[in-house]
Structure 1
Amino acid sequence: MNDIGRFGLWTSGRHWPADAAAVAEAAAEIENLGYGSLWIGGSPADDLALPFAALAATARLVVGTSIVDIWRSDPKTLSASTARLRDGFPGRFYLGLGMGHAPAVEATGQQYVRPLSKLRSFLAELEDVPAGERMLAALGPKALELASTSAAGALPYLVPAAHTADARRILGPDKLLIPEQKIFLGTDPATARTAGRRGTAIYLNLPNYTNNLRRYGLTDEDFAGEGSDRWVDTLVAWGDAETVRARVEEHFTAGADHVALQVLSADPAPQLPMAEIRAAAQVFLS
């Protein structure tokens, strides 16, 4: 794989423009700003069309999915799509996979049972995708153990640095560990927490995340309503540049190889926050 440096960018696929030229322009700027990787979330489709477009518009940027939902994807289609990206952009794509969440799975008419077994079976069907090109969205110990044996590493999402330390211990020293970290550059508590709640409220009703965060001191009180201040402050690094940079650095101290920054904006519009992405590049990449 290409050298991805220390910092990448996490974005939801739903925030990308529909226009192909606009996608290419945004991806090229993200690479030119100095981000080493781009992780596309929001359960991207197994045709991998958006990762392909981002790769086609760039020369060095490493692109990954964070994550493809195994309950909504076909392994044969995914293998073929991954081969297309491998052939067209060698060393520049990671297939991030995850077990999804009960509410979304059950909305499709499936039963969310034995998700880890489902992931193991799905990986077994991806025979044509080498383990070194796969990453797993692992939170709990068993999922992290699977990442240590069946993937290049783990993509923990919505986690504090204490989880990064635990993940490194389980993964061992040689696997990639790339946690996602939400950031907001701004010192007004009300503005920062409003943006933070907008970026995290959806996860309050997803037990995979809340159960994991109980391990790190959060309680039912933190998960009530739109989330407590402690909920936001645990999951969003906000403040001035020095404060935010120090919070992100905690992941490296805990054993991360790379951090995928999810840059939040005070603007509620569902779009790529390019102004804030540029500002974050000044803090982390200049």
Structure 2
Amino acid sequence: MTAVDEARKRLGRIGVGLMTPIAPADEWRRAARRIEDAGYGSVWINEAIGGREVFTQLGVMLAATRRIVFGSSIANLWARHPAAMQGAASVLADAYPGRFVLGVGVSAGSIVERSGQEWTSPLKRMREYLDGMDAGRDAVVTPEVPFPRLLAALGPKMQDVAKEKADGALPASMPVEHTRRARERLGPDKLLVVLQGAILETDPEKARGLARTTLGLSAPESPYARSLRVLGYEDTALVDGGSDDVVDACFAWGDEAAIGGRLQEHLDAGADHVCAVAFAPDLASSADVYERLAPSLL
């Protein structure tokens, strides 16, 4: 069985994201257990450079749970040497067979430069980095169940890299049409995991206001803005956090049924697995939201 086939079987349809920046280990363990008990297929966490280190964090939560799959969304390639990325992923996949998915991303220029590094072409950097990971395979343990390697690929060129050099793509905060096009570009044999922002709020003004603080359309190098332009959105719709149409396309908001309906749209458009990313101030509150959503999502 290939890494993609194994991941499709173990992930199921719906997972969740835990994006709280800093919290004690016990809070992460408790949240992970609650999400597993609620029946979700996966938990995904991210990193920048410094602060929460994604592989260490995932190891804490894998050890605290029994069957749920964990993924990096993303492991920042600027945060470590490619051989270290390959080694860390291989150790987790060996220790927890079938329960780890590696998502790799190039992050953003502003984050990279704040770390003291020089931002370079994302496509060139990604290709070279993946080659470096491959070169390090002989020096690390070979997991019994291979882990899939996904790329945070919003644009068509990065999706081509994902098709050529990875097991699939991991786009975030994009409309359903983006999912449909990504599936067409990747083909049927690649894994497509979609991260969907989910706001459990029925008041349109409150929900859209929260969404506008998170997408980052105003950043000069915003990959979200570039991808939305490819989908046909005009520049006038991308200012001030995005028009109502942009926000409504990029975020699932409303009651439990509305959020469940949006996640199903992504599945119908070709996603193998959809990860709901709730907006909550802390891990306990995030787990509260996911427990409330579970009957409508699972």
TM-score by length of 1: 0.89
1:47–1:273 CA distance, 2 compared to 1 (3 A): closer
8 Å CA contact 1:46, 1:74 repeated in 2: no
- Structure 2: distance between partners of 1:255 and 1:159: 14
8 Å CA contact 2:89, 2:102 repeated in 1: yes
Aligned to 2:33: 28
Aligned to 2:71: 64
Give a deviation string over 1:61-104, Cα, whole Å, max 9, x none.
11110111112222222222222212210111111101211222
Aligned to 1:173: 188
Residue type of the partner of 2:94? D
Aligned to 1:274: 287
- Structure 1: distance between partners of 2:255 and 2:222: 32
8 Å CA contact 2:98, 2:147 repeated in 1: no
1:42 to 47, 62, 68: 47
- Structure 2: distance between partners of 1:62 and 1:155: 15
Consecutive unaligned residues of structure 2, counting only runs of 5 or more, are 1-5
- Structure 1: distance between partners of 2:15 and 2:66: 15
8 Å CA contact 1:13, 1:41 repeated in 2: no
2:242 to 222, 227, 232: 227
- Structure 1: distance between partners of 2:30 and 2:58: 14
Residue type of the partner of 1:276? V
The answer to whether structure 1 residue 99 and structure 2 residue 112 are counterparts is no
Per chain length, whose mean CA-contact separation is higher, i.e. which structure has more relative contact order (CA < 8 Å, sep 6+)?
2
Aligned to 2:156: 141
Residue type of the partner of 2:23? P
What's the RMSD between the two structures over aligned residues? 2.1
Does the residue aligned with 1:126 lie in a helix, a strand or coil?
A: helix
- Structure 2: distance between partners of 1:240 and 1:27: 23
Shift of residue 110, structure 1, vs aligned partner: 3.1
- Structure 2: distance between partners of 1:193 and 1:138: 25
Residue type of the partner of 2:41? G
Does the residue aligned with 1:139 lie in a helix, a strand or coil?
A: coil
Residue type of the partner of 1:239? G
Residue type of the partner of 1:17? A
Aligned to 1:85: 92
Number of residues of Structure 1 aligned to a counterpart in Structure 2: 279
Shift of residue 270, structure 1, vs aligned partner: 5.0
Identity over aligned pairs, percent: 37
8 Å CA contact 1:70, 1:99 repeated in 2: yes
8 Å CA contact 1:199, 1:264 repeated in 2: no
Aligned to 2:124: 117
- Structure 2: distance between partners of 1:77 and 1:209: 29
Shift of residue 55, structure 1, vs aligned partner: 0.7
1:58–1:270 CA distance, 2 compared to 1 (3 A): closer
Residue type of the partner of 1:145? D
1:132–1:93 CA distance, 2 compared to 1 (3 A): closer
8 Å CA contact 1:137, 1:156 repeated in 2: yes
Aligned to 2:233: 218
The answer to whether structure 1 residue 204 and structure 2 residue 218 are counterparts is yes
1:13–1:41 CA distance, 2 compared to 1 (3 A): farther
8 Å CA contact 2:100, 2:147 repeated in 1: no
Consecutive unaligned residues of structure 1, counting only runs of 5 or more, are none
